[in-house]
Amino acid sequence: MEPTKTRRNVLGLLFVLFVAWRGSASTIDLAQEVFRTGPDEIIQALTLSQEERIHKEFEKVAVENGLPSGRESELYRALRDHVAKDGLVVFLSRISPESMITYSHMELLFFPSRYLFLEELPQAWEKMLVKSNVECNFVEYDRPAIGPLDAKCKLLASGNGFRLLRYRGTDK
CB of 28 to other proteins, least distance (A): 9
CA dihedral in degrees (7, 8, 14, 19; nearest 10)?
170
By the rule CB under 8 A, 48 interacts with other proteins: yes
Q: Find, among 147, 123, 149, the residue nearest to 136 by Cα.
A: 149
Selection from 97, 29, 93, 87 nearest residue 62 by Cα: 97
Q: Is 130 in the site for other proteins (CB under 8 A)?
A: no
Q: Does 54 bind other proteins (CB under 8 A)?
A: yes
Specify whether the CB–CB gap between 129 and 121 falls below 8 A. no
Tell me: does residue 5 bind other proteins (CB under 8 A).
yes
Report in angstroms how near the CB of residue 98 gets to other proteins at its nearest.
14
DSSP state of 145: P
Residue pair 35/41 in contact (Cβ under 8 Å)? The answer is no
Q: Is 44 in the site for other proteins (CB under 8 A)?
A: yes
CA nearest neighbour of 120 among 100, 144, 136, 153: 144
Is residue 151 close enough to count as binding other proteins by CB under 8 A?
A: no
- Which residues, 58 to 117, sit near other proteins by CB under 8 A? 104-105, 107-109, 111-112, 114-115
Residues that bind other proteins (CB under 8 A): 2-5, 8-9, 11-12, 15-16, 18-20, 22-27, 29-30, 33-34, 37, 41-42, 44-46, 48, 50, 53-54, 56-57, 104-105, 107-109, 111-112, 114-115
